[in-house]
Amino acid sequence: MIGFDIGEIASDTYYDDEQEGLEEQIIIRFSHVTAENTPKGRTASKFAELLEDKTNGKVKVHIFPNAILYNDTNEWEAVQNGSVEMIAPATAKISRHYPIWQILDLPFAFPNYQAVEEAYEGKIGETLLDRLEHTNVKGLDLWYNGFKQITTQESAIRTADDFSRLHFRTMPGPVIQEQFNQLNASTSTLSFNKTYHNLEVNFVDGQENTLSNINTKKFYEHQQYLTISNHGYLGYGVLMNRDFWNGLPSKIQESIHEAIHEATEWGRRHAIEINDQHAREIRLNQSLEIYTLSAEERAQWRQALRPVYIKAEEAVGSDLMQEIKTIRENYAY
Ligand code: SIN
């Protein structure tokens, strides 16, 4: 017989830890837009686990993935007004509000993962997080995802000229718009969780994203070509409602800082491997024709996108631009 044992339900309820000491528990609602099995989803779970451990269960983090609570067009307002306590938007989405953040989305800013880490964990990361000081969000850290690739439906993208007259779904952010402008492509800024539908109905020809996002959101079902271009890096600002933060006992604030930094470190070590796993699934699935840019093609894309830097420098400032140049020069890039 299939059914419930009423005694079992009653005792489960009795021992549910959320029923005990409820008034003493601190709940952090953490809303984000990606699937759970992505660098952001997994790093958020790691953070929740670490924080609950460090506070002996006093703080609980309730994670709402896949935009089930808020999507990328309203999560910023939600964290500002305290409808949720935490979000972790892509850096490009923060650059909509704080243009200095666009530095991290510059095309070909980073030759490799090590260079991304140097920017995230060095002066650039610190400056960007500090810039949020006078707002109702507190910048806690930067989290990793991976390099972006391009998918399209009708024709493969190899040279910078192949973008011409195509229509792309993009994240918001001035640098992203300028990148596609320079490639003579048109864009629609659409929320992440509306992308699949807009690919399905051919409203857009293509999009750019990490392999974990492409795979978990099944973009391959309506895209035929994948170009491995590694032309930009997608990472996140981890943000908390500042009033909520200010109201926390200092011991809890300390635990949050520790848990965030340990989770960041975990994400840094695992993001590449998580994206690699999704790359393997994409290859096995075989529904996408995959092309990897040659060094010459990369150099040609880079050249075509140089003007993006000139516009960005006005918003970012020469000091931070110099920082990124120095990081690149260390890799002779
Ligand atoms: C995310 O990784 O949070 C979403 C990225 C996108 O909007 O494309």
Cα 39–chain centre separation? 8
pTM above threshold 0.85: yes
The atom number, within ligand 1, closest to the CA of 88 reads 3
Cβ–Cβ < 8 Å for 132, 138 = yes
State the alpha helices, DSSP H only, in the chain.
6-15, 39-54, 75-80, 91-95, 113-121, 123-130, 174-182, 195-200, 211-216, 242-246, 250-285, 295-304, 307-316, 318-330
Q: How far apart, in whole angstroms, are the C-alpha atoms of residue 88 and residue 28?
A: 13
Cβ–Cβ < 8 Å for 143, 265 = no
Q: Is 38 in the pocket of ligand 1 (CB under 6 A)?
A: no
Q: What is the DSSP letter of 100?
A: G
Cα 175 to ligand 1 centroid, rounded to whole Å: 15
* Protein residue with least CA distance to atom 8, ligand 1: 192
Q: Which amino acid, residue 274?
A: I
The pLDDT assigned to 254 comes to: 98
Q: Which of 142, 233, 234 to mutate to test the pocket of ligand 1 (most atoms within 8 A of CB)?
A: 234
149-231+283-327: same fold as 7-146+235-274?
A: yes
Token look-up 């895209």 returns 223
What separation, in Å, do the N-terminal and C-terminal C-alpha atoms of the chain show?
Answer: 67
Record the tokens describing residue 110, joined without a space: 């980073």
Q: Is 192 in the pocket of ligand 1 (CB under 6 A)?
A: yes
Within the chain, how many helices (H) and strands (E) appear? 14, 11
Q: According to CATH, what is the number of the domain 149-231+283-327?
A: 3.40.190.170
Cα 8 to ligand 1 centroid, rounded to whole Å: 41
Record the tokens describing residue 226, joined without a space: 């994948």
Domain ranges of the chain: 7-146+235-274, 149-231+283-327
Q: How far apart, in whole angstroms, are the C-alpha atoms of residue 51 and residue 57?
A: 8
The atom number, within ligand 1, closest to the CA of 169 reads 8
Please tell me the CATH superfamily of domain 7-146+235-274, with its number.
Answer: Bacterial extracellular solute-binding protein, family 7 (3.40.190.170)
Q: Is 176 in the pocket of ligand 1 (CB under 6 A)?
A: no
Q: Is 91 in the pocket of ligand 1 (CB under 6 A)?
A: no
Cα 282 to ligand 1 centroid, rounded to whole Å: 18
Q: What residues contact 156, with CB distance under 8 A and at least 6 apart?
A: 162, 225, 227, 289, 291
* Protein residue with least CA distance to atom 6, ligand 1: 192
* Nearest by Cα to 118 from 130, 132, 104: 104
Cβ–Cβ < 8 Å for 160, 189 = no
Record the tokens describing residue 213, joined without a space: 């996002």
Q: Is 34 in the pocket of ligand 1 (CB under 6 A)?
A: yes
Q: What is the three-class DSSP state of 239?
A: strand
List the pLDDT tens digit at each of the 333 positions of the chain.
Answer: 333 343 343 334 444 555 555 568 999 999 999 999 999 999 999 999 999 999 999 999 999 999 999 999 999 999 999 999 999 999 999 999 999 999 999 999 999 999 999 999 999 999 999 999 889 999 999 999 999 999 999 999 999 999 999 999 999 999 999 999 999 999 999 999 999 999 999 999 999 999 999 999 999 999 999 999 999 999 999 999 999 999 999 999 999 999 999 999 999 999 999 999 999 999 998 899 999 999 999 999 999 999 999 999 999 999 999 999 999 999 988
* Protein residue with least CA distance to atom 7, ligand 1: 192
The atom number, within ligand 1, closest to the CA of 33 reads 3
Does residue 144 come out as left (phi exceeding 0), alpha (psi in the -120 to 50 range) or beta?
A: beta
The pLDDT assigned to 23 comes to: 65
Cα 174 to ligand 1 centroid, rounded to whole Å: 16
Q: Is 87 in the pocket of ligand 1 (CB under 6 A)?
A: no
Per the DSSP assignment, residues forming a β-bridge with 6 are none
